[in-house]
């Protein structure tokens, strides 16, 4: 069965969340905790929760957020000891995460260090989905969505609890904002409201970006033929400029660059990758 044309209620979904030593996997930050729940037709059919021992001490600033200290992870397995368990649990399910590029970039970075084959599962980001269907709420943090949908409070910033809360929030979104679709929405229906889905391979190496999220956005835009808004510092300029583009292809020589069509002028431009300060999906 083609996952995109299948009803969401017919598909196994894995809601996952990570706690980490910091925010930048490209600079050596690592996974501290992996938590996930698997659902089918809105019912939880499995869960996985494990602490992960990092290769270096946990920064105090990170420990303040999630409460995980070096003492907590002293006897925990290293990532290479749990990687296969994580991949087995995910299986062929559709993955849902809140601010998915953060979680997936950490998983991809650590899987690639182990030279493991990346999963090919669709990855749905519930953050832009929430922004699309709930434009009037103050913000789209998971805690805010839990209160909005009256999802029972559990510990925030712990992986399994946040995963379970997300599964309930997602079910509420599908129930209240896709109820007019006979038989329930397809995965394609939900992905369209989220602005597209990622793949693990979008975050893999190949483009010379330090930030995995930027690699992922360019690969996603090329695959989906979608527009991006780029903050770009052109050679000789002192300040970056925001430009809407439709990516066409990447080139590696004479210097890595992104060929694109600028909007709305429709002219072809060549953006040096080193000049790109930030990227986001075009609204």
Active-site positions read: 157
Pairing of strands 43-51, 241-251: unpaired
Residues 156, 159, 161, 163, CA torsion sign: positive
Of residues 86, 76, 128, 81, the one with CA closest to residue 107: 86
12 SS3 class:
coil
Contact call for residues 99 and 69 (beta carbons, < 8 A) = no
E strand segments, 22-164: 31-40, 43-51, 94-97, 122-125
For residues 13 and 27, what is the distance between their CA atoms, to the nearest angstrom?
30
CA dihedral 202, 139, 131, 87 (to 10 degrees): 40
């Amino acid at each position: 069965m083609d996952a995109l044309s299948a009803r969401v209620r017919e598909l196994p979904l894995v809601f996952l969340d990570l706690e980490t030593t910091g925010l930048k996997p490209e600079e050596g930050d690592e996974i501290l905790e992996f938590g996930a729940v698997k659902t089918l037709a809105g019912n939880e059919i499995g869960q996985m929760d494990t602490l992960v021992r990092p290769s270096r001490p946990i920064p105090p600033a990170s420990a303040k957020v999630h409460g995980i200290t070096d003492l907590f992870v002293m006897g925990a397995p290293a990532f290479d000891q749990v990687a296969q368990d994580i991949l087995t649990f995910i299986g062929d399910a559709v993955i849902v995460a809140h601010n998915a590029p953060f979680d997936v970039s950490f998983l991809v970075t650590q899987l690639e260090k182990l030279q493991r084959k990346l999963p090919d599962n669709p990855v749905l980001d519930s953050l832009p989905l929430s922004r699309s269907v709930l434009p009037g709420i103050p913000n789209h943090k998971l805690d805010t969505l839990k209160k909005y949908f009256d999802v029972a409070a559990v510990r925030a910033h712990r992986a399994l609890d946040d995963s379970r809360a997300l599964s309930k929030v997602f079910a509420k979104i599908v129930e209240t904002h896709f109820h007019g679709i006979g038989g329930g929405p397809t995965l394609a229906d939900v992905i369209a409201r989220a602005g597209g889905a990622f793949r693990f391979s979008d975050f893999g190496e190949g483009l010379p970006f330090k930030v995995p999220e930027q690699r992922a956005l360019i690969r996603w835009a090329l695959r989906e033929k979608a527009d991006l808004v780029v903050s770009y510092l052109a050679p000789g300029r002192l300040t970056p400029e925001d430009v809407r583009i439709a990516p066409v292809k990447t080139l590696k020589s004479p210097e890595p660059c992104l060929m694109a069509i600028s909007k709305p002028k429709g002219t072809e431009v060549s953006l040096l990758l080193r000049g790109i300060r930030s990227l986001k999906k075009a609204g």
